[in-house]
Structure formats: structure tokens, C-alpha cells
Structure 1
Amino acid sequence: MSTQLPVSIHKTEDALPSASPETAVVRLVSLLPQDWSVSPAGTTEATATLTVTAPDGTTQAQVLRTVDEALSASPMQGWARS
């Protein structure tokens, strides 16, 4: 069975004033493994919530670690996991 996990991200003080959560979600999706899927669940002005689905055998800890690694990439500057 695949691993499904809700993930929330938020703007940090390093974010550009024009940074949008919708753009952050698109960037995050592009940085995750290709065999993972993401379903947006909602956004506010400074947050985004999504559901990440990883393949069978992927633990929740691995999902969170991979998301955190993606968030540390330069395109995600100004965003962190909540």
C-alpha cells in the first residue's frame, strides 16, 4: 500500500513579498521523485497544504525527509514545512 501523508508548508521571513503558495507547490512537486504524486488540499496567503503519496514501502519518515530535502533546494527559498 502506498504511503499518503498530509504536508503543510509556510512562508518564512526569507520569502520574497511576491512569493505565492501556489507557485511554491508547483516548485515542490517538481523537486519530488517522479513516481510520487501530490494533491493540493488548500492554500492561504502564506501557507499550502497538500497530500503527498509515495510508493509502497516508503515510510512516513522517508516522505518527510524527502520533502525537507526538496524544501532546502534554492527554488524553495523562503518556504519551510510547518
Structure 2
Amino acid sequence: LSNALAGIWSSSHVSGDGLMANNINHMDLILQPDFVFLFRVSNEAGEESVKQGVFYTEDEYLVLLYENGEQGTTYKLKENELTIQDSSGDMY
């Protein structure tokens, strides 16, 4: 894992139909160097959902594997800013 990718990432902007439909307004993603992650989303009412598991990267792909599911995304890391986009076009 690139040391630049490991760390605690917090959203400064979220967009996309899926995120807006669920009123999601904040995300935190913790990527550890040992390929363990924690992903937390919250909505305007303060309700949270947390996923934990393992992840891997391949080229521009970041895949989060957790109990009962997975989330595949593409990512860009530029000037200490991480942008993630899922297959439906949601960005965070």
C-alpha cells in the first residue's frame, strides 16, 4: 500500500443520486497500511452506518470487502486529496 493512500480521509464534498437519496452528508474512510479499513457515513439526522473489513487496490481501483458485501470504486489521489467514485457515479 502506498503510504500516501494510508490514513484518515474525511469528506469535504459528497455528490450523486444515491448519496442524496439517503441524505448522506459526511463520510470518513480509514485505510490502514495492513489493508484493514473502516468506512463511516452519516446523514443530516446524525444517523451513522459503519462498515469494517479489508481492502485492496489495483491500478485506479479501490475495493472494500466487508461482511455480507463489497464496494468497488475508482480513486484518484492528487495533492493530498482523495476522490472516490463508485460505479453509479456517486463521488466523495
TM-score, normalization by structure 1? 0.31
Q: Which has the higher strand share?
A: 2
Which of the pair has the greater relative contact order for Cα pairs under 8 Å at 6+ separation? 1
Q: Which has the higher helix share?
A: 1
Q: TM-score, with normalisation over the residues of structure 2?
A: 0.29
